[in-house]
Amino acid sequence: MNNKNLVLILVLIAIAAISIVAILLTYNQKKNSQNKVIIESSQVSNAYGFAYAGTVICGDGSIYDFELTDSKYENIDKLTLTQRSILILESGTKREETVEEQDLKKIKKLLPKIKADYKERNAEMQIFNFGTESVHIYNYKKNEKVILLQTGAVLLDNNSKKTAEILEILGEYLRIPEDIVFPDKIN
């Protein structure tokens, strides 16, 4: 075998190896994105020590309940969304129930249409000592949690046109009381 053939064989092997690595990385990236939190419904309270608990939905439709009550989690907002997602999933309990496939498709279609555009809701009675309850979507590109709905000391609604639609789908899985989501039928 001459040197030209040997070089050609080595180049082909290198190309094949690079292709395999690229395919594996793409597969792994898709797999990991399916296991990230995409929606969170939670309550944060400092009334009797720190408490952060709720339910999350992942990109693959799995649902986890979590509760982080140690004071070491008080600065959780300083974590990236990826770090936060990992922490919640590792400490949470996976439900047997999952989001139905057609609902998951609708949710994923609606997520990019929801922007961080809020209005403060006037309420007859605001609860200041029970912390904050909120529903968020995770925007990993911007590393931000976008509020869909928030109750507590500050009542916020998201102005995006598709907010009510996504909250209606999520209500079943996250057990959000309808009177909180639709106090006056959000438009």
CA distances from 182 to 16, 39, 164, 171, 185 (A): 56, 19, 8, 11, 4
What is residue 121's DSSP assignment? P
91/168 same-domain check: yes
Q: Is 105 within a domain?
A: yes
Mark 128-153 as b/e (b = at least 16 C-beta within 10 Å). Answer: eeebbbbbbbbbeeeeebbbbbbbbe
Share of the chain above pLDDT 70, in %: 74
8/64 same-domain check: no
125/160 same-domain check: yes
Q: In a 3-state reduction of DSSP, which class is residue 124? A: coil
Q: Is 187 within a domain?
A: no
Q: Is the pTM of this model over 0.85?
A: no
152/105 same-domain check: yes
87/51 same-domain check: yes
Total number of domains constituting the chain:
2
Measured over the CA atoms of residue 63, residue 64, residue 65 and residue 70, the dihedral's sign is negative
Q: How confident is the model at residue 131, as a pLDDT?
A: 75
80/136 same-domain check: yes
120/152 same-domain check: yes
51/141 same-domain check: yes
| 147 and 158 Cβ atoms separated by less than 8 Å | yes
Q: What is the pLDDT of residues 4-55, one digit of tens each?
A: 777 767 666 767 556 565 555 544 444 444 589 999 998 888 777 788 889 9
Q: Which domain holds residue 125?
A: 37-181
And the tokens for 169?
Answer: 């789908």
84/149 same-domain check: yes
Residue 171 has pLDDT above 80, yes or no: yes
Q: How confident is the model at residue 155, as a pLDDT?
A: 79
Q: Is 118 within a domain?
A: yes
160/70 same-domain check: yes
Q: How confident is the model at residue 74, as a pLDDT?
A: 79
Q: What is the pLDDT of residues 117-157, one digit of tens each?
A: 878 776 555 555 567 888 999 999 989 899 888 887 777 88
Longest dimension (CA), the chain: 87
Q: What is the pLDDT of residues 17-28, one digit of tens each?
A: 565 655 555 444
Q: Is 186 within a domain?
A: no
